[in-house]
Amino acid sequence: MSIDVNSWAAKYKQLTNADETIQCMGKYYTCTFMFDMGARKVIVEMHDGKVKAINTDPAPMDSYDFALRASPETWREFAQPMPKPMYHGIFSASFQRDLRLEGNLLVLMQNLRNFTVQFELLRQSGVPV
Amino acid sequence: MIKHSPVTGRYVTIEVDGNEYKVFYLHNGTGQPLICQHTAGAHNHQWRGLLEDEEITRDYNVIAYDLPRHGKSDPPHNKEWWKDEYRLTADHYVNFIVTLCDALELKDPIFMGSSFGGNVALQLALRRPDRFKAVIPVEAADYAPGFFLDWWRHPHANAAQVCASGVWDLMAPQSPDLDRWLTWHYYTQGSEAFKGDLYFYSVDHDLRDELVNIDGRRCPVIMMTGTYDYLTPPEATENTARQIKGGVYIEMEDIGHFPMSENHELFRVYLKEALRIIRERKG
């Protein structure tokens, strides 16, 4: 039984906005990214280190800077409290599993410190698939 | 609280392929020389746990140097290095290590390196088995393509953070936060050299047809890789060790690509086993 997507979004926003590692260097962490989990897609909009909005029902023309796309199984592995090898990050899963990084990867690289920290918050929030 | 470490640092000036290098190294211990190479884009503090490991330094003279362009080892003082793109080659890397060992008058040293230091350990076993008692390639493979990327020094991104966070998940999530963030910190300091180091790691280093020429009975090759290493995953190292005469493969559970830096307490368990095998084979 997966988590309701709106409950997940509220939890992920709360975790991000309360995270000291992100917030201590949150200024200018401003970008928009998609988590494509197959059956479920969300768009997270960041502004100065805070979640401004999470779009839980993206329409075809809704835009974002970059996307992370993988199977629901991979996303569920990302969300384990102690993920198995190769599911423990975006580089490992894209080199060795089915994660694909798409879109404007320069924006990802410009925000990589905070994004990698925020990505690992999935281990606390779970995923809505 | 005042507490002095037994680790001391020195500089030695050497010439390698026409380059004048003033090399910084840390050392502690007595006995069998054990010379250690940091990973690409990092420096010798990655070996901080080993350098202060009382049990190992009782019998081993541990030396951890900064490769030129890293840490406190400058680029060559006799070259206008800022006019060339840095690309480390296997030839130069091997020449540097052998020249440094000669300058320090190390007798039958054991060479240990991680990642691009592990790959050059294989090069040393192939080219100079006469000069080293044994090698310990950590997180190494015969060939490691895919990491010579423009992202490491893209002018539109913060290269320090890209390098440091780009290698973040090369570490295991089980490793202590402090040690992972210290490793991250080292990586923010070496971003200008990282890509040039990876030219060796991912491009110039290719021993796929040469493993058969490495004699692990003459110069023992003890390979060790962590289960969380996505860049040289355990199967890549195991496949390499299997093709080396007398090659040994040790799998390290719940650790990643920077084992000495991300979790020395766990790494030392495996290292002691590697050193035991070398003693058994070579005395």
> pLDDT tens digits, residue range A37-47?
999 999 999 99
- What are the φ/ψ torsions at residue B126 (nearest 5 degrees)? -75, -45
Determine the distance in angstroms separating the CA of B188 from the nearest CA of chain A, rounded to an integer. 11
Calculate the dihedral angle through the C-alpha atoms of A18, A21, A27, A31, rounding to the nearest 10 degrees.
-80
Residue B135 to residue B143: CA distance in whole angstroms: 17
Interval B187-202 mean pLDDT: 97
- Where residue A108 falls among pLDDT bands split at 50, 70, 90? very high
**Strand duo B32-37 + B19-28: pairing:** unpaired
- Where residue A2 falls among pLDDT bands split at 50, 70, 90? confident
Angle between helices B159-166 and A112-119 (to 10 degrees): 30
Range list of H helices, chain B: 48-51, 54-57, 90-103, 116-127, 159-166, 177-189, 191-198, 234-242, 259-262, 264-282
Contact indicator for B152, B194 with CB cutoff of 8 Å:
yes
- Where residue A35 falls among pLDDT bands split at 50, 70, 90? very high
* Res A1: pLDDT: 57
Interval A91-114 mean pLDDT: 98
Interval B231-242 mean pLDDT: 97
Selected residue of A113, A115, A119 to mutate for chain B interface (largest B Cβ count, 10 A)? A113
* Res B266: pLDDT: 98
- Where residue B250 falls among pLDDT bands split at 50, 70, 90? very high
CB of B155 within 8 Å of any CB in chain A?
A: no
Interval B83-96 mean pLDDT: 98
Q: Choose the CATH number for B8-282 among 3.40.50.1820, 1.20.200.10, 3.40.190.290, 3.10.20.30.
A: 3.40.50.1820
Residues of B in contact with A120 (CB under 8 A): 173
Q: Which two tokens stand for residue B262?
A: 């991300």
Residue A33 to residue B171: CA distance in whole angstroms: 24
* Res B283: pLDDT: 83
Per-residue pLDDT at B167 exceeds 60: yes
Residue A51 to residue B214: CA distance in whole angstroms: 54
Identify the domain containing residue A100 by its residue range.
5-125
Which among A90, A92, A106 is the nearest to B157, CB-wise? A106
> pLDDT tens digits, residue range B4-37?
999 999 999 999 999 999 999 999 999 999 999 9
* Res A67: pLDDT: 98
Contact indicator for B118, B140 with CB cutoff of 8 Å:
yes
Residue B99 to residue B92: CA distance in whole angstroms: 10
CB of B198 within 8 Å of any CB in chain A?
A: no
Residues of B in contact with A90 (CB under 8 A): 169
Selected residue of B168, B187, B231 to mutate for chain A interface (largest A Cβ count, 10 A)? B168
Long-range contacts (CB closer than 8 Å, 24 or more residues apart) made by B97-105: B97/B35, B97/B37, B97/B124, B98/B124, B98/B128, B98/B131, B99/B14, B99/B15, B99/B16, B100/B12, B100/B14, B100/B23, B100/B25, B100/B35, B100/B65, B101/B35, B101/B131, B103/B12, B103/B14, B104/B12, B104/B25, B104/B33, B104/B35, B104/B63
Residues of B in contact with A28 (CB under 8 A): none
Sign of the CA dihedral running B80, B82, B85, B90 = positive
Contact indicator for A125, A16 with CB cutoff of 8 Å:
no
Q: Which amino acid is at A52?
A: K
How many domains in chain A? 1
Contact indicator for B154, B195 with CB cutoff of 8 Å:
no
| Site of tokens 């037994």 | B6
Per-residue pLDDT at B280 exceeds 70: yes
Please report, for chain B, the start and end positions of each structural domain, with discontinuous segments joined by +.
8-282
The CATH number that applies at residue A116 is 3.30.1050.10
CA triple A23-A29-A33, angle to 5 deg: 120
Interval B71-90 mean pLDDT: 98
The verdict on a CB contact (< 8 Å) between B230 and A86 is yes
The verdict on a CB contact (< 8 Å) between B161 and A92 is no
Share of chain A above pLDDT 90, in %: 97
Q: Which residues of A touch B (CB under 8 A)?
A: 82-83, 85-86, 88-92, 95-96, 105-106, 109-110, 112-113, 115-116, 120
Report the mean per-residue pLDDT for chain B.
98
